[in-house]
Structure 1
Amino acid sequence: MTMKASLKGKYDADKTTGVGSFAVNAGDLKLRATMTDATLVAGPTLNGLSLAVEKPGSFIVEYNVPKKDVRFQFMNTVKIAEKSLNLTYIHSRGDNRTIVDGSLLIDSSNKLSANYMVGTNNCKLKYSYAHGGIATFEPCYDLAKNTWDFAVSRRVYGDLVKATYQTSSKLLGMEWSRNSKSSGFKVCASVNLAEEVKTPKLTAETTWNLEM
């Protein structure tokens, strides 16, 4: 039996938060408990606590304890003209929201994906092009807002540097991240170009992983 624990801390100018998880592999299933700093700071309490049962690549059932809400996620892969189409179905019982997500792997460099919230006009279409396994270009079209978002990422000595731009909000972002088996970090900076005073917003995340 394999047990894994992880702890993530997020820091910004307004507040500092933390999320911890503990997972146990039980055959084909993975049992996971996740809690936030709200679970322990005033507690211990049930705030921020969720429990999940997962079969990797097949399904996830997650129960939010304080909200008494169940979230179902089902994954499947089908072949279309010898191309892999990955499908994900997500349903949250509490707010009665259903999301369907699909991605079609055209080849090793090109991928098309779509995300749709059932019963609404919220739908996003994204095209991803990986150049030489080093750089990735991702334009995304939001049908509800009739706007485009753009992302460009590149590997630099094992680290990932990513730039994003949201045309609807004129939000420009930069991200630098590094991940390994035992730890990882992410530093983000964003600025709203529509504001008269363009003050950058900085956030940082650190993750520690432990396998037992």
Structure 2
Amino acid sequence: MKASLKGRYDIDKSSAAATVVVKAGDVRLRASLTDATVVKGPSLNGLALAVEKPGFFIIDYNVPKKDVRFQFMNTIRVAEKPLNLTYIHSRGDNRTMLDGSLVFDSANKVSANHVVGSGNCKLKYTYVHQGVTTYEPSYDLAKNSWDFAMSRRVYGDDVFRASYQTGSKALGLEWSGNSKLNGSFKISASLNLAEELKMPKLCAESTWDFEM
């Protein structure tokens, strides 16, 4: 059994969440809850249950909304290259999403995301330079706009990431890391360059994992 605790802190509000995962053979059973589940007495708010077989399927059930989300994964080979396919369907909003990524080698990957019936499709190319720096240009066909992201490993396992969305003119910066002693963390800042000059939105997250 594994458990994790996650805290999120930003200027507007703070939140917390917890997850417990139990292995049952090849299948994992997962229960997740947020601070809304326990604030003002126990309730079903923020409670979610899931059944998962890694690499094959995930079935999520949102208890308060009584909504089911299905996710199925498979990998086929195209010209001896792995093509990872994912099918996601949310019953509540009747929304179906298709994901695909073709891995050419350890440094090059092309991926696509499409929401069925919306005409929305996003294409992304990922290039990893010397295993340290990652470049990710992407194109949104529906918005006819480009997004750019670059991340680089620093101080061992820490990652610094910068992103820019040309359509909304949103600039984002993120620093994340993982430690066996202190858990994982993520500090991010975002700024919309299209608006009048304001203070960037800051957010910090911490996650601790436990073996039970």
What SS does the corresponding residue of 1:72 show, helix, strand or coil? strand
Deviation of 1:181 after TM superposition, in Å, equals 4.8
Q: In the alignment, residue 194 of structure 1 is paired with which amino acid?
A: A
What residue in structure 2 maps to residue 109 of structure 1? Answer: 107
What SS does the corresponding residue of 1:48 show, helix, strand or coil? coil
What SS does the corresponding residue of 2:32 show, helix, strand or coil? strand
What residue in structure 1 maps to residue 40 of structure 2? Answer: 42
Question: Residues 123-138 of structure 1 correspond to what in structure 2 (within 5 A)?
Answer: 123-138=121-136
Q: TM-score, normalised by structure 2?
A: 0.97
Superposed CA deviations along residues 103-149 of structure 1, whole A, max 9, x for unmatched, are 00011110000000001111110000000000000001001100000
Q: In the alignment, residue 177 of structure 1 is paired with which amino acid?
A: S
Deviation of 1:99 after TM superposition, in Å, equals 0.3
What residue in structure 2 maps to residue 27 of structure 1? Answer: 25
What SS does the corresponding residue of 1:184 show, helix, strand or coil? strand
Deviation of 1:199 after TM superposition, in Å, equals 1.7
What residue in structure 1 maps to residue 185 of structure 2? Answer: 185
Q: In the alignment, residue 160 of structure 2 is paired with which amino acid?
A: V
What SS does the corresponding residue of 2:19 show, helix, strand or coil? strand
Listed as ranges, the gaps of 5+ residues in structure 1 are none
1:173 paired to 2:172: yes
Q: In the alignment, residue 163 of structure 1 is paired with which amino acid?
A: A
What residue in structure 2 maps to residue 89 of structure 1? Answer: 87
What SS does the corresponding residue of 1:203 show, helix, strand or coil? strand
What residue in structure 1 maps to residue 203 of structure 2? Answer: 203
Q: In the alignment, residue 189 of structure 1 is paired with which amino acid?
A: A
Q: In the alignment, residue 100 of structure 1 is paired with which amino acid?
A: L
Aligned residues: 210
What residue in structure 1 maps to residue 54 of structure 2? Answer: 56
Runs of 4+ with deviation above 6 angstroms: none
Q: In the alignment, residue 117 of structure 2 is paired with which amino acid?
A: G
Deviation of 1:24 after TM superposition, in Å, equals 0.3
Deviation of 1:95 after TM superposition, in Å, equals 0.6
Deviation of 1:191 after TM superposition, in Å, equals 1.1
What residue in structure 1 maps to residue 151 of structure 2? Answer: 153
Listed as ranges, the gaps of 5+ residues in structure 2 are none
> What is the CA RMSD across the aligned residues, in angstroms?
0.9
Q: In the alignment, residue 170 of structure 2 is paired with which amino acid?
A: L
Deviation of 1:198 after TM superposition, in Å, equals 3.1
Query: Could you tell me how far apart the structure 2 residues matched to 1:68 and 1:193 are?
Result: 39
Query: Could you tell me how far apart the structure 2 residues matched to 1:51 and 1:65 are?
Result: 7
Q: TM-score, normalised by structure 1?
A: 0.97
What SS does the corresponding residue of 1:39 show, helix, strand or coil? helix
Query: Could you tell me how far apart the structure 1 residues matched to 2:161 and 2:185 are?
Result: 14
What SS does the corresponding residue of 2:38 show, helix, strand or coil? helix
Query: Could you tell me how far apart the structure 2 residues matched to 1:146 and 1:100 are?
Result: 20
What SS does the corresponding residue of 2:58 show, helix, strand or coil? strand
Q: In the alignment, residue 172 of structure 2 is paired with which amino acid?
A: G
Q: In the alignment, residue 161 of structure 1 is paired with which amino acid?
A: F
1:164 paired to 2:152: no
What SS does the corresponding residue of 2:177 show, helix, strand or coil? strand
Q: In the alignment, residue 207 of structure 1 is paired with which amino acid?
A: T
What residue in structure 1 maps to residue 77 of structure 2? Answer: 79
Q: In the alignment, residue 99 of structure 1 is paired with which amino acid?
A: M
